[in-house]
Amino acid sequence: MADPYLAGLLLAGRRVVVVGGGTVAQRRVTGLLAAGADVEVVAPGCTPAVEAMAAAGELRWSARGYADGDLDGAWYAVACTDDPAVNAAVGEEAEHRHVFCVRADDAAAGSAVTPAVGQHDGLMVGVLAGGNPRRSAAVRTALVEALHAGLVDDTADPVTPGVALVGGGPGDPELITVRGRRLLARADVVVTDRLGPRDLLDQLGPHVEVIDASKIPYGRAMNQARINELLVEHAQAGRFVVRLKGGDPYVFGRGFEEVLACAEAGVPVTVVPGVTSAFAAPAVADVPVSHRGVAHEIVVVSGHVAPGDPRSLVDWAALGRLRGTVVLLMAVERIGAFAAALMDGGRAPGTPVAVVQDGTMRIQRSVRATLATVAQVVREREIHPPAVVVVGEVAGLAP
């Protein structure tokens, strides 16, 4: 077979016929729809995902077998039934009508082949490997990851100055989002916290200025004001600033204060949500925050002030009456007071509790206890922040 000629098809509004409704069809259809194609799926049965796309009006599904003439008016066709004879018939009609056609069962018998594709910031990568799909997929993945990580210089469009508020996830560098990582790779300035994926900072280029916000030498309140100022100052000096936060920026991360400060100064802000430690730390310690028949509610509570403190906005008595899961952040130091407040509110002393320290990090540790014993267990086992405390029956489910 001669080498294929690599082209990008502009399929917006153009008729594409996919014959077959299985998982191959499902995979092709998503790319075709992303290109704006007018897709018809012809198949007696199809996967629930394809059926849902038909129900949502994203494509048409003709629930029947292929018949000669189905390619009438098509610009492109995909033959992906599990019957080679049907695929061959589709291929023949396509040949006859001069419609390019992919044969999923026998690439060489078709007139087009599907590359492994990947995307990065408006860039599309397509890889063909002479009929070796593992190789093309591996090269595609490596290229896209290198682009996301900023290892390939992709300076086509300069980043516009401003601030990206990026949730970095709970600490494991693999738990940042793809968008978060991509923006981090384009930063001129990165303002970090104590928590979050510190390992990713190693990968930044030498020109990137890293400011450790946890080392700003003021009190707590001043600290935040100074961080806001720094974000605004650097953005106004024409730089792209990534504010890298632990977990999700809005889960007890003061992220919205930073957004407001930028907005007030007229600095554009992008927010990238993150994987919060409230859910991730329990998950990696085998505690599901919800479970069928066990917990139908999950409440995430900040422990940064004690129960009874005039600044507290938490209704501990109401939390004590809950049957579901209570997740406490910033709560290890005062765990005794929180456990007592929940029991005072009515939660049973025998309620299971799990405490997960440094969740998703190499040094992760976790302990199990009950509401009655957790304060003592935390002290004896020398659990220290950052840790997530999970109270509820879910903490007692053994894997």
The DSSP code sequence of 266-311 is T--EEEE----HHHHHHHHTT--S-BTTTBS-EEEEE-SS-TT-TT
Distance in angstroms (rounded) separating the CA atoms of residues 281 and 385: 12
Catalytic residue among 3, 157, 202, 215: 215
Site for ligand SAH in 213-252 (CB under 6 A): 245-248, 251-252
Beta bridge partners of 325: 298
Please enumerate in sequence order all residues whose Cβ is within 8 A of that of 390, keeping only pairs 6 or more positions apart, or say none.
Answer: 282, 287, 289, 325, 326, 327, 328, 353, 354, 355, 356
> Pick from 168, 197, 253, 392: which binds ligand SAH (CB under 6 A)?
253
> Pick from 150, 171, 282, 352: which binds ligand SAH (CB under 6 A)?
171
CA 110 centroid distance within chain: 36
> Pick from 281, 326, 341, 374: which binds ligand SAH (CB under 6 A)?
281
Residue 383 C-beta: closest distance to ligand SAH, Å:
10
The verdict on whether 193 is a catalytic residue reads: yes
DSSP type of residue 169:
B
Catalytic residue among 193, 245, 248, 358: 193
- b or e along 292-314 (b: 16 or more beta carbons within 10 Å of the residue's beta carbon)? eeebeebbbbebeeebeeeeeeb
The verdict on whether 245 is a catalytic residue reads: no
Site for ligand SAH in 322-381 (CB under 6 A): 329-330, 356, 358-361
Residue 386 C-beta: closest distance to ligand SAH, Å:
4
Residue 389 C-beta: closest distance to ligand SAH, Å:
8
Distance in angstroms (rounded) separating the CA atoms of residues 106 and 84: 8
Q: Which is nearer to ligand SAH, 20 or 288 (CB)?
A: 288
Distance in angstroms (rounded) separating the CA atoms of residues 253 and 245: 7
Which listed range, 25-33, 98-106, 141-149, 274-282, lies at the site for ligand SAH (CB under 6 A)? 274-282
- b or e along 46-60 (b: 16 or more beta carbons within 10 Å of the residue's beta carbon)? bbeebbebbeeeebe
Q: Is 153 left (phi over 0), alpha (psi -120 to 50) or beta?
A: beta
Task: Number of residues interacting with ligand SAH: please give it, by CB under 6 A.
Answer: 25
> Pick from 50, 79, 104, 195: which binds ligand SAH (CB under 6 A)?
195
> Pick from 22, 161, 324, 385: which binds ligand SAH (CB under 6 A)?
385
Tell me whether strands 352-357 and 365-370 are parallel, antiparallel or unpaired.
antiparallel
Q: Please identify the residue of the shown chain whose CB is closest to the bound ligand SAH.
A: 247
93 binding ligand SAH? (CB under 6 A)? no
Tokens of 85: 């004879």
Q: Which is nearer to ligand SAH, 86 or 355 (CB)?
A: 355
Residue 367 C-beta: closest distance to ligand SAH, Å:
13
* Binding residues vs ligand SAH (CB under 6 A): 170-171, 195, 245-248, 251-253, 276-278, 281, 329-330, 356, 358-361, 385-388
Provide the annotated active-site residues. 193, 215
